[in-house]
């Protein structure tokens, strides 16, 4: 990779965009707030609107690539030696960052995520705060949380929360009186985040394990709120909302019945945005899966509850960035 060129407040936004589009890294050596202003001005010159989702996604990827060329230097002590620069040490450590040249967009994401981690996000269904970590989906929009909090609950001794993220749905189930909840995630960062949250909330009945989808055993209720977009993830932040090839969605639909106790229920909590871009799913797969009774025949268990769909909603981001969350729905 070519060495960056040093730039400062005299760099015009249109010139910065042209150089960055050519793959030239721009190492900022001036006042830190001025770097943020330049980044915002560059962003205005990189439109991303498109009626076609995949073209929109492509333009977003190009925008991220160009803006990522504006970098700052994080020193060995994790400080930024620029006038009026904030203290980023705790945020960089929490995000697993390291000394070196860091895209300003990424650094700002770390700072934003760390603020959420420290202050927490109020969750009405819990009457408490959830503290998201960098790269873990933050429950700032809570339509899907409210659905799980108010859907008619069958008789449940054990529940699984698949792809738990911050652990918010596992916490909701525990607060609703489920005696044992096993929450899983494939991401070590999410597992650490969920464990911290359930510990803060004093929910000893919730166990968080690192697993690819299902834990061992069976449960009376299996809940999953998967990433809802079928495109490729291009960053750790993307992984919270993009499900390449609908891998997690199809894995859940194909495997849920094998992990349900007789008469158990599986709840798939899925964003409406997934419907708009038509993610692939197994032919004939149902969005609610109920395990057959012990003697075969019709599935045992209660009918799927009718859950009202929430009204229109605006987006909520992943900690540190991401794309908006459309209204969620508990499908049946």
Confidence at residue 326, expressed as pLDDT on a 0 to 100 scale: 30
Pair (153, 28) in one structural domain: no
Q: What pLDDT does 288 receive?
A: 43
Q: By the 8 A CB rule, do 30 and 83 touch? A: yes
What's this model's pTM, rounded to 2 decimal places?
0.76
Domain boundary pick from 117, 138, 162: 117
Output phi, psi for 210, to 5 deg: -85, 120
Q: Can you list the alpha helix ranges (DSSP code H) found in the chain?
A: 13-21, 32-44, 53-67, 89-94, 104-119, 143-150, 168-175, 188-201, 247-255, 272-277
Length of the chain: 332
pLDDT score of 45: 94
The Cα angle at residue 279 between residues 46 and 159, in degrees rounded to 5: 115
Same domain, 141 and 268: yes
pLDDT of res. 272: 65
Distance, in Å, from the CA atom of 235 to the CA atom of 227, rounded to the nearest integer, reads 14
Among the listed residues 330, 325, 328, the one whose alpha carbon sits nearest the alpha carbon of residue 311: 328
Domain count for the chain = 2
CA dist., res. 275 & res. 249, Å (int): 13
pLDDT for 287: 42
Are both 104 and 69 inside the same structural domain? yes
**What is the reported pLDDT for 313?**
29
Could you tell me if 189 and 253 lie in one domain? yes
Both 290 and 145 in a single domain?
Answer: yes
32 lies in the same domain as 162: no
Instruction: Using 50 as the pLDDT threshold, list the residues of the chain that sit under it.
Output: 278-332
Q: Running DSSP on this structure, what letter comes out for residue 125?
A: T
Give the residue from 86, 117, 148 where a domain finishes.
117
Strands 121-123 vs 128-130: parallel, antiparallel or unpaired: antiparallel
| pLDDT at residue 308 in the model | 34
Q: What's the pLDDT score for residue 141?
A: 83
Sequence-ordered alpha helix ranges (H) in 186-322: 188-201, 247-255, 272-277
Cβ proximity of 326 and 271 under 8 Å: yes
3-state helix, strand, coil in the chain (%, to 5): 35, 20, 45
206 and 317 inside one domain? yes
- Comparing CA positions, the residue from 58, 56, 60, 87 lying closest to residue 74 is 87
* The pLDDT of residue 320: 36
- Pair 265, 220 in one domain: yes
Are 209 and 183 spatial neighbours (Cβ–Cβ below 8 Å)? yes
Question: Which pLDDT value is given to residue 274?
Answer: 52
Among 71, 89, 117, the domain-final residue is: 117
The answer to whether residues 132 and 82 belong to one domain is: no
User: Is the distance from CB of 89 to CB of 80 less than 8 angstroms?
Assistant: no
Domain span at residue 71? 5-117
In this structure, are 326 and 264 located in the same domain? yes
For residues 21 and 66, state if they share a domain: yes
Nearest to 198 by CA among 134, 124, 130, 135: 130
Task: State the CATH number of the domain containing residue 181.
Answer: 3.40.50.150
Answer yes or no: do 255 and 286 share one domain: yes
**Distance between CA atoms of 263 and 19, rounded to whole angstroms?**
61
Identify the pLDDT of residue 329.
31
Q: How far apart are CA 171 and CA 161, in angstroms?
A: 10
Contact 263, 280 (CB under 8 A): no
């Amino acid at each position: 990779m070519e060495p960056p060129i040093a730039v400062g407040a005299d760099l015009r936004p249109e010139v910065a965009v042209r150089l960055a589009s050519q793959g030239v890294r721009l190492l900022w050596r001036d006042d830190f707030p001025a770097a943020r202003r330049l980044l915002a001005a560059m962003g205005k010159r990189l439109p991303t609107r498109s009626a076609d989702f995949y073209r929109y996604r492509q333009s977003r990827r190009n925008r991220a690539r160009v803006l990522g060329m504006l970098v700052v230097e994080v020193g060995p002590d994790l400080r930024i030696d620029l006038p009026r620069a904030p203290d980023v040490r705790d945020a960089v450590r929490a995000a697993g960052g390291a000394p070196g040249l860091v895209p300003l967009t990424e650094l700002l994401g770390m700072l934003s995520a760390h603020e959420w981690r420290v202050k927490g996000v109020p969750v009405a269904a819990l009457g408490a705060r959830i503290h998201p970590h960098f790269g873990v989906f933050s429950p700032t929009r809570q339509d899907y949380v409210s659905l799980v909090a108010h859907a008619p609950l069958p008789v449940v001794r054990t529940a699984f929360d698949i792809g738990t993220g911050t652990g918010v749905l596992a916490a909701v189930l525990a607060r609703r009186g489920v005696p044992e909840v096993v929450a899983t995630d494939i991401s070590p960062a999410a597992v650490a985040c969920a464990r911290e949250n359930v510990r803060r909330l004093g929910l000893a009945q919730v166990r968080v394990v690192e697993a690819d989808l299902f834990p061992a055993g069976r449960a009376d209720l299996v809940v999953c709120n998967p990433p809802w977009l079928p495109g490729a993830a291009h960053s750790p932040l993307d992984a919270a909302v993009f499900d390449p090839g609908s891998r997690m969605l199809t894995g859940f639909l194909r495997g849920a019945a094998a992990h349900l106790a007789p008469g158990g229920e599986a709840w798939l909590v899925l964003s409406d945005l997934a419907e708009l871009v038509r993610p692939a799913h197994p032919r004939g797969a149902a969005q609610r899966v109920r395990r057959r009774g012990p003697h075969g025949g019709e599935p045992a268990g209660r009918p799927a509850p009718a859950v009202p769909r929430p009204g229109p909603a605006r987006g909520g981001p992943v900690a540190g960035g991401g794309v908006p969350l459309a209204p969620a729905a508990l499908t049946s």
